[in-house]
């Protein structure tokens, strides 16, 4: 198969971790007979430096023309980088929101899984870590507070600001369907998270999710309030299979879920539209403090590439091969600094890429 990818290396550690994911894809291509072609696209701070804006229309067109987008990370140090002197709509993050909206990437999948080998890194009590967990956070990505009308203004000498949270039943229905479909391929349980005891948008969310659930009788549905969910994630994470939630709640809960896996450097994500097209990126940020030092963990980006093989290209066997290679490398004791522990072998970004590529080639 020939796969045309738009690649957004981005800022901070982005270029280093994306380079390793590309090497892994090339190894898959070599072993399984596929070809991956890459077109670089600027987004975030690096685009501001060249074009004065975080994402150009041309960049959007290039991404749209590709089969999928592989992304690293964008943004810099918010306290020191000149990018954050710009108005909000010109900052690096605005590029990310714009590409999500322009490409219609409404379904954000963020798996949080505790690797057997990394149990010691889980900050929860030992008995909880020993139980393990394996959940998929399904975050609605193109609606809600992130895209509602907002304003900062002055009235009678007092400054006020508002943001609005709106969802249409159609937006809720399409993400709910995706949530149930994914649950069907997993342990068949959906926890829909809202704040229906306070918010109208949440009451609509709950009503529509219940309607959709009627078409998925084989999947168990429960509703949970977002504050309770935040608590349950650290009290008993093994109870969750698919967590289905709106944009802002998903942003917060997915960071919490990633933390209990031990390192955000391990977590991939996929943002999908109505078709097979998707943007794949690690859940973590651009970590400007460690950029260029060859110490960042490339595994989240490599696993994002595996999600791309699975969801955009239906290459399940190849995706399994990448995931298996990552597990084997961990089993053999190789660790980047963020997941290092006593008795293990510390490696850099590139060396971690080498080891994973090696395992892919060995498996065949
Ligand atoms: C994420 C990030 C983004 C978000 C930021 C960078 C705008 O936190 O992907 O979770 O809030 O969606
Ligand atoms: Mg976030």
pLDDT higher than 90, residue 22: yes
pLDDT value for 290: 97
**251 close to ligand 1 (CB < 6 Angstrom):** yes
pLDDT value for 215: 98
132-149 mean pLDDT = 97
Report the nearest-CA residue for atom 1 of ligand 1: 251
pLDDT tier, 363 (very low <50, low <70, confident <90, very high otherwise): confident
Report the nearest-CA residue for atom 8 of ligand 1: 251
Distance 355 CA to ligand 1 centre (A): 30
pLDDT higher than 90, residue 352: yes
DSSP tag of 54: S
255-259 mean pLDDT = 92
Distance 204 CA to ligand 1 centre (A): 24
pLDDT value for 325: 98
Distance 133 CA to ligand 1 centre (A): 23
Residue 247 alpha carbon, nearest atom of ligand 1: 12
pLDDT value for 8: 98
pLDDT value for 264: 86
Residue 251 alpha carbon, nearest atom of ligand 1: 10
Judge whether 194 counts as a catalytic residue: no
> Distance between CA 105 and CA 100 in Å, rounded?
5
Distance 93 CA to ligand 1 centre (A): 8
- Each residue's pLDDT tens digit, 200-209: 999 999 999 9
pLDDT higher than 80, residue 268: yes
pLDDT tier, 270 (very low <50, low <70, confident <90, very high otherwise): very high
123-136 mean pLDDT = 96
| The overall pTM is greater than 0.85 | yes
pLDDT higher than 90, residue 284: no
pLDDT higher than 80, residue 364: no
Report the nearest-CA residue for atom 6 of ligand 1: 93
pLDDT tier, 185 (very low <50, low <70, confident <90, very high otherwise): very high
Report strand pairing: 35-40 vs 189-194. unpaired
Phi, psi of 29, deg, nearest 5: -60, -45
**What is the share, in percent, of the chain residues with pLDDT greater than 90?**
96
More confident residue, 354 or 117: 354
Which residue, 246, 243, 174, 180, is CA-closest to 215?
Answer: 180
Judge whether 276 counts as a catalytic residue: no
> Distance between CA 146 and CA 167 in Å, rounded?
11
CB 118 within 8 A of CB 261: yes
Q: Which of 43, 88, 93 has most ligand 1 atoms within 8 Å of CB, for mutation? A: 93
Average pLDDT in the chain: 97
pLDDT higher than 90, residue 262: no
Ligand nearest to the CA of 93: 1
**93 close to ligand 1 (CB < 6 Angstrom):** yes
pLDDT value for 192: 99
pLDDT value for 82: 97
DSSP tag of 146: G
């Amino acid at each position: 198969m020939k796969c045309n990818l738009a690649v957004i290396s981005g800022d901070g550690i982005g270029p280093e971790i994306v380079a390793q994911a590309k090497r892994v894809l090339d190894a898959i291509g070599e072993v399984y007979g596929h070809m991956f072609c890459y077109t670089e696209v600027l987004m975030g701070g690096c685009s501001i430096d060249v074009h004065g804006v975080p994402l150009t229309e041309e960049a959007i067109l290039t991404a749209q023309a590709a089969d999928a987008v592989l992304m690293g990370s964008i943004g810099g140090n918010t306290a020191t980088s000149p990018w954050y002197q710009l108005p909000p709509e010109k900052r690096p993050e605005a590029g990310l929101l714009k590409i999500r909206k322009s490409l219609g990437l409404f379904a954000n999948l963020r798996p949080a899984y505790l690797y057997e080998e990394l149990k010691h890194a889980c900050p929860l009590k030992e008995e909880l870590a020993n139980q393990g967990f394996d959940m998929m956070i399904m975050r609605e990505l193109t609606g809600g507070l992130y895209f509602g009308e907002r304003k900062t203004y002055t009235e009678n000498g007092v400054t006020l600001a508002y943001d609005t949270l709106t969802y249409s039943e159609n937006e809720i229905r399409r993400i709910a369907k995706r949530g149930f479909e994914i649950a069907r391929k997993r342990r068949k349980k959906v926890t829909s998270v809202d704040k229906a005891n306070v918010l109208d948008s949440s009451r609509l969310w709950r009503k529509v999710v219940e309607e959709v659930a009627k078409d998925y009788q084989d999947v168990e549905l429960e509703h949970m309030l977002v504050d309770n969910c935040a608590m349950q994630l650290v009290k008993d994470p093994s109870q969750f299979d698919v967590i289905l939630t709106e944009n802002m709640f998903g942003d917060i809960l997915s960071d919490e879920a990633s933390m209990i896996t031990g390192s955000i450097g391990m977590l991939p994500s996929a943002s999908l539209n109505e078709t097979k097209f998707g943007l794949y990126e690690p859940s973590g940020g651009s970590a400007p403090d460690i950029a260029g030092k060859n110490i960042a963990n490339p595994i989240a980006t490599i696993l994002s590439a595996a999600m791309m093989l699975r969801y955009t290209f239906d290459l399940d066997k190849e995706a399994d091969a990448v995931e298996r290679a990552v597990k084997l490398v961990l089993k053999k004791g190789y660790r980047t600094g963020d997941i290092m522990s006593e008795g293990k072998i510390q490696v850099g970004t590139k060396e971690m890429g080498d080891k994973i590529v090696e395992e892919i080639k060995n498996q065949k």
